[in-house]
Each structure stands twice: as structure tokens, then as C-alpha cells.
Structure 1
Amino acid sequence: MTFESVLAERKAELATKWAELVLKTYPTETQKVWTKQKDRFQNPVGAAIIEATGELFDQLIEWQDAEVIAKSLDKLIRIRAVQDFTPSQALSFVFLLKKLLRDEFFKAMKKDGTLDNLLRFEAKIDNLAMMSFDIYAKSRDEVFRFRVDEVKRAQSSLLRKAGMIVDVTTETSVD
């Protein structure tokens, strides 16, 4: 039996544990709300985290389509990119999966001589981390661009209201 098939058998349990670890990276009050409230409409962020970790766990086991993996990663990273996390905190969820798998399997696999299977699977997680850095950088760039655009719009609106800018859209023709 391969390590991936062992993970597949326990994927619901392990994906849930991973989501719980991710949710624990938030402040205590936020954790309470997001772990207790299961309604997708009353808890969209918590639901998105649970959904994304489940998708990613499945995709890591198979690792067939990097674009599909990137889309699932993007869902989770976009949430974390707009929050008050440092880049390392925002992307820590990837490494939390590594910690989870080591907690669950390391001792037994070391004992039975199959630890190399865990280490091989961790290479997939490392690839996931590298993809995450790229997606995070792109997401942060978008957030900063939106903020700059919003400041420009607000400044332009204030200047227009103060009469310091006049919209001129007249056409001149030359005969």
C-alpha cells in the first residue's frame, strides 16, 4: 500500500485537522466563531478555508494538474493576503500540513522503515510552498494596486468637489 493510498483513506480526517490548524493561526475570538459556525453564509471565510484545504489535500495526493492546484491555493491565499499577516504567517498553512503529517506518521514510518515515503510526499508540499509564494506575491500586488487606485479616486473626487479640477471633454476641430 502506497503512502498516497493511506492518505486517501484518511483524507477527510486529515483535511479537517489541517483546516483546524489553519484556523488556529487566527486570533482566539475569530477561531471561536469560525470553528463553531458551519453556515457558509454566516461564516464565508471559515467555510472557504475548510473547502480549500480539502481540495488541496485531494490534489496533493494525486498531483496531476498544477493549474488546478494553483486555483485551490489561490482561494486560500487571497483570503490570507488581505489580512494582517506577514508573508510567512500568511503562507504558514502549507508548512502546517507538513507538521500534521509528521505528527501523524513519522514515528510509525520510522519504526517500519518507510520514512522515505513520507519524505517523498513532503517534496510535494515543498512544491506547494513554492507555488504559494508566487501566488501570494501576485495577490499582494493586486491588493496594493487596488489600494492605490482607491486613493487616487478619493483624491480626485475631493479635488473635484473643491472645484480644483474641472472635467473638460470638449472637442476642437481644425478645418
Structure 2
Amino acid sequence: EHAPGIVSINLSGINHPTKRKRILSFLKSHQVHVAMLQETHLTQLEHDKLRRDWVEQCFYSSFSSKARGVAILIHKNLPFQCLSQVMDPAGRFVVVHGRWGAKPITFASMYAPNIDDPLVLQNFFLQLAKFPSPWVIGGDFNCPLITVIGRFSPVQVTQTLMAKTILASVKEYSLVDFWRHLHSTAREYS
């Protein structure tokens, strides 16, 4: 049995039907089994439209058609059974706990504010901590965690309160940033 494709993408809005169709086709063609989406900019009704073709389950938190919104899409062939979920009313995160076959798993999609607001992240990790691990978290946390690797130049950056909250949670819950682990010296996504 091969490992399923899991992806996290900030979409910058998919409320246009053509863009929504393109994204779903892209995910299908890349054999994605779990898609954690941020900045969907979809209403509740529009999020329901994501359930089609290869997507059997769609868990989401809506805010408006102009801002925020997160979703987790589950492929129809993935043996996932949802046992419980938490949706942020502000459209910042959704956490879904269930069984993948016989094994427990928790998926979370997070879209953090682009201002230094650590309370949003603290609330996210408090909600997540209610569920057993393993956790698979996808998101746009809108802050650099590493203070010396810049995207375009190695500039020293002041660490935000949000970054400190994330790093403390990474340590407290023994989390691993797989992308950073595999690309420790890359300047992208820093």
C-alpha cells in the first residue's frame, strides 16, 4: 500500500468557479488524498460545492467570500471516518479527528492572521491538544520562524510573538516541520 498524497495550499481565494475547478483538477491529477486548504474565501454553501468528483468529505470553517476560510478535503478512496471536529467561527482553522482505517489521526488546517496575534495560535493549539496524535497540520502561519534565513537575503528579523508561540508549541508537542526538515538551508518558506 503506497502512502497517500497530503498537501497544504494557500489558495488566495477560490470563489470563482473556474479557479475552483482548476484547483480540484490539479489536486486530482496529482493524486492528492488529503488537501488542507487556506484562504478559500468561500461561504458555507460554496464550501459544500467542493464535495464532488474525487472529494468525498469536506470539513471547513467559513468567514466570508472576501477573506479567510480553511478546508480539509478527503479523497473518496481514503478509509477515513470522522469522529469529531472543531471549526473556528472566524474562519481561521478546522480540526478533524477520526480513524484512518483502524488508526486514529487528527488533521488540521490553519490560516493565521498577518498581524502579530499570538492568541489565535494559542487557541488553535488548545483546540488541537484536545485530540490524540498523530497530528497532521497544514497551514499558512504568516510569520517566519527562523530569524536569519530570509526569502531574498539573509537579513536578521525580529521574532514575533506568533513565531515564539509556534516554536513553543512545536517543542511542547514534539512537532516536526517536515518541509524545513528536508530543506534546512533553503530560503523559501522561511
Write 1 or 2 for the structure with the bigger share of helix: 1
| TM-score for both structures, normalised by structure 2 | 0.28
| TM-score for both structures, normalised by structure 1 | 0.29
Structure of higher RCO (CA pairs closer than 8 Å, 6+ residues apart)? 1
